[in-house]
Amino acid sequence: MERIIKGPVLVLGDNIDTDVILPGRFLELTDPAAIGSHCLAGLSETIAPQFPKGGLVAAGKNFGCGSSREHAPIPMCQTSCQ
């Protein structure tokens, strides 16, 4: 079965670790929307606010590797699901 997913894509490279997905300075946040507003702030502070609704992230090897920070999946979902 083939499934085609369409939408704007943010293409990232390899080794995007949890510190890039959500830098440590935002770990005190508890509201998922507030956490999501800082998604990928380790690359650029403007990614999350400019990320289009329904957008997709394509990443290379080792995406999400690192400190096993449990906060890291929250901004990815909040940003792409807005």
- The tokens for 42 are 């380790």
φ and ψ of 80, to 5 deg: -80, -15
Q: What's the chain's length in residues? A: 82
In-domain check, residue 73: yes
Q: Could you give the number of structural domains in the chain?
A: 1
In-domain check, residue 11: no
- Give me the pLDDT at residue 65, please: 86
Q: What pTM value is reported for the model?
A: 0.78
In-domain check, residue 1: no
Q: What CATH number does residue 56 fall under?
A: 3.20.19.10
In-domain check, residue 4: no
**Tens digit of each residue's pLDDT (9 = 90 or more) over 28-72:** 998 988 988 999 999 999 999 998 888 899 999 998 887 667 777
In-domain check, residue 6: no
- Give me the pLDDT at residue 81, please: 44
In-domain check, residue 9: no
Enclosing domain of residue 39: 19-80
In-domain check, residue 14: no
